[in-house]
Amino acid sequence: MIAMASTVARTITGVGLLALASIPAMAQPGNAVDQATAPKAPTKAVANPAPVAAKEAAPKLVTEPIMHWTMADAAVLLSVIEGIESEGLVPADYRPDLLRAAMARGENDALDYTASNSFSWLAEDLRDGRTPMKARVQWFVVDPDQDDMPTDKLLADALTRHDVAGVLASLAPTHRDYAALKQALAETPPANKARRALIQANMDRWRWLRHDLGEMYLLTNVPEFQLRFTVKGKIIRSYRTVVGKPGRTATPQLAETITSVVFNPTWTVPQSIVKGEGLGARLLANPASAKAQGYKVSKAANGVITVVQQPGGSNALGLMKIDMPNPHAIYLHDTPSKQYFNHEVRAYSHGCIRTENAVELGMTLAILGAKMPPAEAVQTKLSKKYTRVQMERTVPVYLTYFTMAQDIEGGLRQFSDIYGRDAPVLASFAAPRQTKTTQRTSDEEIIKLDNPL
């Protein structure tokens, strides 16, 4: 299937497209831990643990229940904590000192309490990321991992199977970029603190996303100005992009699902331009100019002017729009202003992602995601008529922000922090770990960015 998908990315006509019609339906991502079949460890109620320093000094336990720990399991946990710097985390966050003190007293309530605490904190950070939500600027992705892999179930699974290290290791991101960052961290001398901190921050960003990104998905890294189309773990095509200008029109970080591909789209001009910039009044006063520019103008009884740009090469959305409904009105689209793709820094839009070769991408999605016959996709594109093609398969889109990642050649590179989003993450790692809250996304204002110009 990957080879076929690569073919359609290179050519949008002929035999290469026809070969894609037989691609089988793709399975949806599954949970990393099967909640229905995982063994249940016995719960041990702890009414009054022994009054040792472990209880007084440790932060409040967030996840119940407290489980019974053997000395062997506790020793494995301590070993994992002592080596967790290799995953870009901070060993001291998980209180190895308290765990050692509790272990010195043998198996008792104090060990159960301390080890359960340390395991829970570490599991949460490996699964969800250590960075608190307040430090994730414009982060509007709801990571489902804590629902799919709840902490208490991870703890029960680890202790029932006596596989603490294995359960914790299973939470690490599986994306190739995470592995590349981990290797770079191992190769960076401790004296190079700035580079290590940046690697650490970008490793954590992978934990903010769902553990399994899906079998077929789009992922754009905003600071790199690139979009990748991935099928079964293989990048079959990359596309240059134009992203939001810094400031109010910066592109937010999202994880959405494509619902449809629109061939030859129309564009309803936002009122900020129709009224705010006087476009509506000018076009009403000059119908010939409106027609020449491809605009259809109407005025309602309440005086509101509506301007809709009709399909065509000069349409602000170009010849293709990829819908992914979200409160920010962000989507991927073609553009008539192709010259901007040749710029090194491509941050010019009002938030949406202008995509080079968007027509090719849209046709590939129509074939793979909507099971449209390749010949029909070609004819639909050439029709010059507005046509919406609904997706039949789940195709996620991830708008991410990595300032250190693999480039399209596969080499690890540092990218410019165009929106200044590194500083809060770096500062959070320099501070003590914060206890997790119920907050799932940023509480910043949602800005509806509906202007592709």
| Span 118-177, pLDDT tens digits | 999 999 999 999 999 999 999 999 999 999 999 999 999 999 999 999 999 999 999 999
**Which pLDDT does position 2 carry in this prediction?**
58
**Which pLDDT does position 65 carry in this prediction?**
65
Those residues whose C-beta lies under 8 Å from the C-beta of residue 261, and which sit 6 or more positions away, are: 320, 321, 322, 323, 362, 363, 365, 366, 369, 370, 388, 389, 391
- Average confidence (pLDDT) over 243-249: 95
Q: Could you tell me the pTM of the whole model?
A: 0.86
CA 440-92-189 angle, to 5 degrees, is 100
Those residues whose C-beta lies under 8 Å from the C-beta of residue 346, and which sit 6 or more positions away, are: 225, 240, 241, 242, 243, 340
| Span 184-209, pLDDT tens digits | 999 999 999 999 999 999 999 999 99
> Which tokens go with 322?
């990829």
Phi-psi region of 410 (alpha: psi -120 to 50; beta: other; left: phi over 0): left
Rounded CA-CA distance 28/214 in Å is 7
1 has pLDDT over 90: no
Query: Which residues face 263 on adjacent strands?
Result: 320, 387
Query: Which residues face 295 on adjacent strands?
Result: 309
4 has pLDDT over 60: no
Rounded CA-CA distance 365/330 in Å is 18
Rounded CA-CA distance 189/333 in Å is 43
| Span 10-52, pLDDT tens digits | 544 443 443 333 333 433 333 333 333 333 444 444 433 433 3
> Which tokens go with 63?
């996840």
Percent share of the chain, pLDDT over 90? 81
Rounded CA-CA distance 308/268 in Å is 4
| Span 404-439, pLDDT tens digits | 999 999 999 999 999 999 999 999 999 999 999 999
Rounded CA-CA distance 407/386 in Å is 35
Query: Which residues face 217 on adjacent strands?
Result: 230
Split at pLDDT 50, 70, 90, the class of 271 is confident
Cα distances from 428 to residues 91, 182, 434, in angstroms, run 15, 19, 9
The domain locations on the chain are 2-12+214-400, 53-209+421-430
**Which pLDDT does position 5 carry in this prediction?**
58
378 has pLDDT over 50: yes
Q: Provide the mean pLDDT of the chain.
A: 88
Other C-beta atoms lying within 10 Å of the C-beta of residue 214: 21
Is the bond preceding 65 in cis, omega lying within 30 degrees of 0? Answer: yes
**Which pLDDT does position 374 carry in this prediction?**
96
- Average confidence (pLDDT) over 229-241: 96
- Average confidence (pLDDT) over 327-340: 95
Nearest CA-CA partner of 230 in 221, 346, 378: 221
**Which pLDDT does position 447 carry in this prediction?**
87
Other C-beta atoms lying within 10 Å of the C-beta of residue 272: 12
77 has pLDDT over 60: yes
**31 near 144, Cβ under 8 Å?**
no
**Which pLDDT does position 180 carry in this prediction?**
98
Query: Which residues face 139 on adjacent strands?
Result: 253
Rounded CA-CA distance 413/407 in Å is 6
| Span 282-302, pLDDT tens digits | 999 999 999 988 999 999 999
Percent share of the chain, pLDDT over 70? 85
Nearest CA-CA partner of 117 in 59, 36, 39: 59
**Which pLDDT does position 320 carry in this prediction?**
97
311 has pLDDT over 90: yes
User: Topology of 2-12+214-400 in CATH?
Assistant: L,D-transpeptidase catalytic domain-like (2.40.440)
